[in-house]
């Protein structure tokens, strides 16, 4: 069982890497098997289909992300602090699971056709609701602007945060914590120079 668990994990990890690099549709079960070090037929002992592998990659990713979001929301903070924390939590998840993050960002049209899409949809809805509730709270207490639709602001932040997996490399001196701080500062304070007053 430990062996099977390790093999399953290896299959999921190799698949996520290939899916992220080449796209799901362009990745073959033979490539996955090569990377794992078995023949393609052996994959079907662990998963019933290629789609099942995709589904598990995405589901595990969303479970991790949601658990981090729930931790952020469990603490009493201002909307601004919570927004900063959501950005930082997202970037940390993207750093620890870059391939799964890329798959989820790039392959939504593929994911939507999976047989178990409803579970993914529910998790995605909770993710969105978390962000929107924080933004609405900030509008309500006057710390955020009320002249721009919260959904528009949410989508800009979301896309900027998640697409950072396409260019951010955690190896350099620019840490993920600094990236999160810069992101929050740009979106909240703007890139225009502060008024020298």
Partner DNA sequence: GTCTATACGCCGATAGAC
Partner DNA sequence: GTCTATCGGCGTATAGAC
Question: Using CB under 7 A as the criterion, which residues of the chain lie in contact with DNA when the complex forms?
Answer: 1, 3-4, 7, 27-31, 33, 38-42, 44-46, 48-51
> Counting Cβ atoms within 10 Å, is residue 181 exposed (0-12), middle (13-18) or buried (19+)?
middle
Distance set, CA 17 to CA 165, 170, 182 (Å): 13, 17, 28
140 is a contact residue toward a second copy (CB under 8 A) = no
* Three-state SS annotation for 112-139: CCCCCHHHHHHHHHHHHHHHHHHHHHHH
15 is a contact residue toward a second copy (CB under 8 A) = no
Distance of CA 24 to the CA centre of its chain: 17
Q: Whose Cβ is closer to DNA: residue 43's or residue 134's?
A: 43
Please tell me the distance from the alpha carbon of residue 153 to that of residue 140, in angstroms, as a whole number.
15
Q: Whose Cβ is closer to DNA: residue 21's or residue 30's?
A: 30
Binding track over 162-191 against a second copy, x by CB under 8 A: -xx-xx------x----x--xx-xxxxxxx
Residue 125, binding choice from DNA, a second copy, none, Cβ under 5 to 8 Å by partner class:
none
Tokens at 42, concatenated = 């052996």
The residue ranges that bind a second copy (CB under 8 A) are 21-23, 25-26, 80, 106, 109-110, 142-146, 148-149, 152-153, 155-157, 159-160, 163-164, 166-167, 174, 179, 182-183, 185-194
């Amino acid at each position: 069982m430990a062996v099977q668990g390790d093999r399953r994990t290896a299959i999921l990890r190799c698949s996520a890497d290939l899916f992220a690099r080449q796209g799901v549709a362009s990745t073959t079960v033979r490539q996955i098997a090569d990377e794992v070090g078995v023949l393609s037929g052996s994959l079907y002992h662990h998963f019933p289909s290629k789609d099942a592998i995709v589904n598990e990659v995405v589901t595990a990713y969303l479970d991790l992300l949601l658990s981090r979001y729930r931790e952020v929301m469990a603490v009493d903070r201002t909307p601004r602090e919570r927004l900063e924390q959501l950005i930082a939590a997202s970037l940390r998840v993207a750093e620890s699971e870059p391939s799964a993050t890329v798959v989820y960002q790039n392959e939504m049209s593929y994911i939507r056709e999976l047989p178990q899409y409803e579970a993914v949809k529910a998790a995605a809805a909770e993710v969105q609701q978390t962000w929107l509730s924080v933004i609405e709270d900030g509008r309500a207490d006057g710390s955020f602007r009320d002249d721009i639709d919260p959904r528009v602001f949410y989508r800009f932040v979301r896309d900027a945060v998640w697409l950072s997996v396409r260019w951010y490399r955690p190896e350099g001196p620019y840490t993920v914590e600094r990236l999160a701080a810069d992101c929050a500062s740009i979106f909240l304070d703007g890139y225009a120079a502060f008024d020298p007053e």
